[in-house]
Structure 1
Amino acid sequence: MSTTSSASWASTLSVSASSWSKALEPIRTDGPSAALPSGPALLAHVDDRLDHFRHLDDELGSGEVYQLARSELSLIVKLISSRRYDGRTVDYLHAMASEAARQVAWAAFDQSRPGVAQRFFDGSLRASAEAGDPISGAYALSFAAIQCYSTPGHAGRAVSLLQTAQEQVRRKATPRMHAMLAARTARALSKTGAKKACARQLDIARKALGKGPHDDDPKTLYWVD
């Protein structure tokens, strides 16, 4: 990958994160995000499939997930465009679109397609903002940060993405979510050589995990322990 191309997608990720943060500002509250409704049976099935794809990635890798998640994202977009749903159900659909796009983005990155990954990370953040759901967007940013800190010269950008995520979920996330974001921030900081800051984030992660699981932990964080 050329330095120019990596700088291009990395810069675009930063712009996407900034736009996402600004879009969420009008709806920020001091309380936790409201629980998403279970929705019609079709939506529940879509949610179940997205959960299955997360585990499928653990077992079979990104190649299978890329195609499956992209098809699921297409279905979700069609459901949104159908105008059959409104209110919190539409928010639910946008939150699922955010997760589906994140899965596509992560699979694309794993397949060495960073430009494609960046576009789907952007789509994930846009859907998160439409849903008024900062948790899904912060989760997407935590994976976009891995793309950055895995690319020489972009660890500092990864730190910035994670700081944006942490700020948006500061009063909304469960301890497990805070632990995940702190651990990934520590990883990014380790790439920059900021040893004290890295150790501080690891300490935050340990203390957060020590608070134990919560009933409202996002399903996406099943792997954080």
Structure 2
Amino acid sequence: MEIDRHPLTYLLHLNGWSAPHYLALLDAAHRQLGYGQITKTERKRVTRWTRHGVTPEMRAQKAMAFLHGIPEEEVAARPWPEWLKLACIRERPLLDAPWDPQTTIDLLDRVASTGGPMDRRGFLVVTGIAPVLAGVAGAEPATARPHGRRIGRQAPALFDKALAVLRRQDDQLGSGQVHASARAQLRLITSALRNNAYSDETGRQLHAAAAEAARICGWTAYDSGHHALAEEYYLAALRAAASSNDPVVTANTLAFWAIMRYSTGDPQGAADLVTDALGRTRLINSPKMIAMLHARLARAHAHAGDSRASARAQNAALDAYDQARDRTPQEDPDCVYWVNLGELQMLAGSCALNLGRPKEALSKFTAAPAALRAADAYQEDDFPRGAAIYLAREAEARMSLDDLDGAVETAHRAVEHMGGVSSARGTSTLDDLRAKLTTRKEVPLVRDFLERTA
């Protein structure tokens, strides 16, 4: 069962209910609410509700809400079937449990132990970003643990080195191959948190390492197409980041969760996450991280169709990056090793494409790299998945400008970069590009590309 299937289909599967059995339960709820017997017409509609886009009449929806323990006001507040996803939440403690270190360790242990292989089904619904951010703001910081074999600062340092390797392996190999390693690292860090003795400072560092490991798990799950699982990890990562009291790991987690949010239809939620992260930058001495956050905010605004807000954020990103030019890599957090001017230009091109400006997008994708010094240019060989995605976007821009020769040539380059990289997101991007090119398959070179890459 795919993660994006209908929530009612998921509930039937989860509980082992046949359609007739579910309708019998629904009929009982319908009667209990005083609505009488479900009509014969309604009895025929489970398949229509789940597969053919038919919306149940309101009394039937209220009976479903009653059956699944969902407040009736949620039915009024959300369209069908969005409100029904509230019945599918697997990890309610990630949303509702206290934001304290011991609870965080328990939840980290749960997602690390049960988060793979990546075949999680169902939905984790964060209905609003504000409560999550309030949890971060009110979280209790990590403290010393007196029991167990004592470990010192060398343990968090070793974890940090391992996480730096995982970040770069993901760039080269793709998320499908790195997720299991990230989970293993999260389990190891969580075990150290639970079983060893350490000081306040070491405890906070261990929570920061756990947050980054969970963040990598969330990113690799998202990149592999498992959005519900990714959201579990991002919530666990934010809890650990809040306990670490580390503004860098907190801001980085918020930024990566924002990518998933604006890419899956919630640009406002993404903007809220990045805005919160930007509020932490007074504690972060890293112009490069500030530039990255503004670039993410620009992407959220572009997905929302707000060209002015996107342009302001892009300008802020470039202004911040100007302050980073004379710094050494060691002066910035390792988690922003991938940020340079070429990357910011690629993100700006992606914004322009979202906003329906293919000519501007093409200029960002192509003109900037040629004029940049090596340290600022986008390094395609270092980031083959990212390069494939950006090249697919460039090909889409060329196609919009009726440059089919350029579109096909760029598409070939995108396919070459994806060879050997495991990424559902990258593969999906190329599939979308192929679908767009299919509309011009009467052109010989387009038809040849489609046949070669079938």
How far did 1:70 drift? Answer: 0.6
The letter for the 2-side match of 1:155 is: P
State whether residues 124 and 231 of structure 2, in contact with CA within 8 Å, keep that contact through their aligned partners in structure 1: no
Runs of 4+ in 1 over 6 A off after TM superposition: none
Q: Distance in 1 between matches of 2:267 and 2:249?
A: 22
Residue 115 (str. 1) matches residue 231 (str. 2)? no
Residue 185 (str. 1) matches residue 301 (str. 2)? no
Partner of 2:153: 39
State whether residues 218 and 234 of structure 2, in contact with CA within 8 Å, keep that contact through their aligned partners in structure 1: yes
State whether residues 176 and 217 of structure 1, in contact with CA within 8 Å, keep that contact through their aligned partners in structure 2: yes
Gaps of 5+ in 2: 7-80, 87-122, 142-151, 341-454
> Is the partner of 1:120 in helix, strand or coil?
helix
The letter for the 1-side match of 2:311 is: A
How far did 1:223 drift? Answer: 0.3
Q: Distance in 2 between matches of 1:13 and 1:63?
A: 28
Residue 222 (str. 1) matches residue 329 (str. 2)? no
Residue 75 (str. 1) matches residue 75 (str. 2)? no
Gaps of 5+ in 1: 27-37
Q: Distance in 1 between matches of 2:169 and 2:193?
A: 26
How far did 1:164 drift? Answer: 1.2
Partner of 1:91: 204
Q: Deviations over 1:30-74 (max 9, x none)?
A: xxxxxxxx922x433322111100000001100122110111011
Residue-pair matches, total: 211
Q: Distance in 2 between matches of 1:146 and 1:93?
A: 25
Q: Distance in 1 between matches of 2:131 and 2:227?
A: 16
Q: Distance in 2 between matches of 1:74 and 1:167?
A: 31
The letter for the 2-side match of 1:199 is: A
Larger relative helix fraction? 1
How far did 1:90 drift? Answer: 1.1
Residue 19 (str. 1) matches residue 132 (str. 2)? no
Q: Distance in 2 between matches of 1:179 and 1:23?
A: 27
Q: Judging changes above 3 Å, is the alpha-carbon distance between structure 1 residues 139 and 133 closer, same or farther for their aligned structure 2 residues? A: same
- Higher CA-based Rg: 2
> Is the partner of 1:160 in helix, strand or coil?
helix
How far did 1:169 drift? Answer: 2.7
Q: Distance in 2 between matches of 1:158 and 1:57?
A: 23
Q: Distance in 2 between matches of 1:58 and 1:45?
A: 21
Residue 202 (str. 1) matches residue 314 (str. 2)? yes
Q: Deviations over 1:2-35 (max 9, x none)?
A: 56349953426553233113338x9xxxxxxxxx
Larger RCO of the pair (alpha carbons < 8 Å, separation 6+):
1
The letter for the 2-side match of 1:209 is: Y
Report the TM-score, using the length of structure 2 for normalisation. 0.44
State whether residues 129 and 272 of structure 2, in contact with CA within 8 Å, keep that contact through their aligned partners in structure 1: no
CA-based RMSD of the aligned residues comes to 2.2
